[in-house]
Amino acid sequence: MKNEMAIAEKSLDNTVAAREFDVERIRADFPVLHQSVNGQPLVYLDNGASSQVPQIVIDRGSTYLEEEHSNIHRGVHYLSQKATTAYEGAREKVKRFINARDAKECIFVRGATEGINLVMHGYGRKFISAGDEIIISAMEHHANIVPGQMLCEEKGARLRVIPMNDAGELLLDAYDALLNERTKFVAVTHVSNALGSINPVREIIERAHKYGVPVLLDGAQSVPHMPIDVQALDCDFFAFSGHKIYAPTGSGIVYGKAELLETMNPFQGGGDMIKSVTFEKTTYADLPHKMEAGTPAIASQIGLGAALDYLNTIDREAAAAHEAELLRYATERLSAIEGVRIIGTAREKASVLSFVIDDIHPHDIGTILDQQGIAIRAGHHCAQPVMQRFNIPATARASFAFYNTKAEVDVLASTIEKVIEIFS
Ligand SMILES: Cc1ncc(COP(=O)(O)O)c(C=O)c1O
């Protein structure tokens, strides 16, 4: 018995050790964080827009530019082969990171926007026709509204919208009522950038599949905060941007099940995506190249691979627990300030905190915070229908990464108090 207790204690110790998260050590990896802005230490809370890049990713980019820079795939020479190996190596890393069955299911794109457009073009234009319906949700980023809307306009199809409650939670009964034999596609965000809500995407996918309908997940805001397993989710498409997960801009992925990607039209035509070209007919390359026309963002995608290597070196479970604690603490601190109202109070939330203050425009909040070195985002967050749903023009949004600290939350809260004082 004593022995069992000792073992239990030891395993508890291990769990606690695994959960300890040395935020100062992590911060040391991100050079940009260590600077003053307007005479104050930078407090970077705009990670939902773009997260910062660790030194290892910066170094990988420099190595590529200094030692490997060359065009990929078509070259027989040394540098081209090195660049190709690094680029295709990054694709393998992505495959492992999201647990795709095959690297050919991971298409390099400039970001989530391009990934969603690729699917709406390649799948939508081929398989959606007049009278069909596409379902999205009330909390989509414009990147997941406008491409579907353009497709509907072109084809005479109809866009249907899953509504949400006042907390920012999707109403699944209403979703059930929207699904029918006319539904041909579902595209929803995994995590809302404007509200932080984590959507019940497994249920959404399961219910769509009962109708044989494929589902695209916009993973731009989920990949930074949680492990992604596209096979376990059983999503048909999954798009995300590298610049929100510690990689350079211009990097990103749209995953698609191979059997769907195979049937789709290429997104763009050009070099690298063909098997043969004559003036009479072109035949397309195999996946993934069929979907990647022209010279891609080689350095950025290699940087994405390096960012995934970096993420694999940290305890992501502990990082997620740290982010959850930051969100809890920030919610508590801001809710305690008179006049502050949190927008987005779903039970399941990622570390995104949107708020408004009585009679103070979010742009004024953002500007005054910036004068104190605090970077947040103010505006409609490319989610104007969310603003309309909550009857507000805009919100201020603090979004946390695992390198943020409670001390930074304190600075945010006390500066918001000052903003209120200034306007009172
Ligand atoms: C939920 C969501 N989807 C899509 C996008 C578009 O990402 P990108 O501009 O990197 O293509 C964003 C960007 O903020 C987002 O938050």
pLDDT, tens digit, 9 for 90 and up, residues 291-344: 999 999 999 999 999 999 999 999 999 999 999 999 999 999 999 999 999 999
Three-class secondary structure of residue 354 per DSSP: strand
186 and 135 Cβ atoms separated by less than 8 Å? yes
Question: Which atom from ligand 1 is nearest to the alpha carbon of 252?
Answer: 10
397 and 377 Cβ atoms separated by less than 8 Å? yes
Mutational test site, ligand 1, from 136, 188, 218, 381, max ligand atoms within 8 Å of CB: 218
Question: Which atom from ligand 1 is nearest to the alpha carbon of 190?
Answer: 1
pLDDT at 10: 43
Quote the mean pLDDT of the chain: 95
Question: Which atom from ligand 1 is nearest to the alpha carbon of 243?
Answer: 10
Q: Beta strands 374-375 and 43-44: pairing type?
A: parallel
pLDDT tens per residue, range 148-185: 999 999 999 999 999 999 999 999 999 999 999 999 99
CA of 92 to the centre of ligand 1 (A): 23
pLDDT tens per residue, range 89-114: 999 999 999 999 999 999 999 999 99
What's the CA gap between 82 and 111, in Å, rounded? Answer: 24
Q: How confident is the model at residue 14 (pLDDT cuts 50, 70, 90)?
A: very low
What's the CA gap between 228 and 383, in Å, rounded? Answer: 24
Closest listed residue to residue 400, CA positions, set 44, 35, 37, 19: 44
pLDDT at 245: 98
pLDDT at 75: 78
Based on the residue annotation, tell me whether 235 is a catalytic residue of this protein.
no
Q: Which residue has the tokens 């109070």?
A: 345
| Ligand 1 pocket residues where CB is under 6 Å | 111-113, 141, 143-144, 189, 193, 218, 220-221, 241
CA of 1 to the centre of ligand 1 (A): 54
pLDDT tens per residue, range 18-60: 457 999 999 999 999 999 999 999 999 999 999 999 999 999 9
pLDDT tens per residue, range 78-91: 999 999 999 999 99
Give nearest CA residue, ligand 1 atom 16: 193
CA of 16 to the centre of ligand 1 (A): 35
pLDDT at 225: 98
Average pLDDT over residues 184-193: 98
Q: How many residues does the chain have?
A: 424
Query: Which residue would you say has higher pLDDT here, 27 or 10?
Result: 27
128 and 183 Cβ atoms separated by less than 8 Å? no
